[in-house]
Amino acid sequence: MKKKKILAITLARGGSKEVKNKNIRKINGQPLIWYTIKEALKSKLIDKYIVSTDSPAIKKISLKYGAEVPFLRPKKFSTDKASSVIALQHAVKYFEKKEKEKFDIIVELMCTNPLKISLDIDKVIKKIIKTKSDTVIAVHNIQDHHPRRLKKIVRDKITDFMKEKPESRRQDLKPLAYVRSGSIYAIQRDYLMKKNKRYGSRDSRPYLLPKNRVINIDTELDFLLAELIIKKRIYER
């Protein structure tokens, strides 16, 4: 069987509203994006890894740590309203049109999730190759935040999103519920380019990300928590 060509991409926009310069802010002495670059370069299955950014500062730091940055992403694909899909498609088109290079599988590695390791990345890639599914994405069990525990407030009264048995224990909540971890997305090239989606088909498959490697950095509190986890090396256990 012909080997699948794998392109991995980290999208790192320069503008971040909640936390300034989030993608290159230091966490435990290293820029946030470094953690993803480091693990991507350890992968045994990725053929090419790039950072797609509109920021010269992020480009400089990414190059320093070994990532390829073959272009600066156009501003129209880098606004806070531009989707990840559009930015990924821009990178794919760049290689196909400018470099005459076509990849079979596109892997998005989000830099706001610094706890993933190369083992996670390669397991996701192996699964999409083995299953021939449209996508494989990292998910995790939401446990205490199960949909049956979610509530609405209607006219100052608490009502259920889903019917909940009063005083139910966490272990009684069925079926198990999962949420996208926002860490790793492996996507068949044709699905990305033709369906304009990273996930959502009837053949989207899960990769269960270990609980100790789940975090998505959006706030100052997230930075503090991630730094503690990294310092204690909890994510490696």
Global pTM reads 0.91
Q: What is the pLDDT of residues 190-237, one digit of tens each?
A: 999 999 999 999 999 999 999 999 999 999 999 999 999 999 888 777
Q: What is the rounded distance in angstroms from the CA atom of residue 4 to the CA atom of residue 130?
A: 11
Asked if residue 41 lies in contact with residue 117, where contact means CB atoms within 8 angstroms, the answer is no
Q: What is the pLDDT of residues 15-49, one digit of tens each?
A: 777 788 999 999 999 999 999 999 999 999 999 99
Q: What is the rounded distance in angstroms from the CA atom of residue 149 to the CA atom of residue 227?
A: 30
SS3 111: coil
Percent of the chain residues past pLDDT 70, beyond the cut: 96
b/e map 185-216, b = 16+ CB within 10 Å: bbbbbebbbeeeebbeeeebbbbebeeebbbb
Nearest to 235 by CA among 210, 212, 208: 212
The band of 56, judged by pLDDT with boundaries at 50, 70 and 90, is very high
Take residue 30 and report the two structure tokens written for it: 């290293």
Most confident of 92-106, 147-161, 220-234: 92-106
| Residue-range domains of the chain with CATH | 6-140+179-232 (3.90.550.10), 143-176 (no CATH)
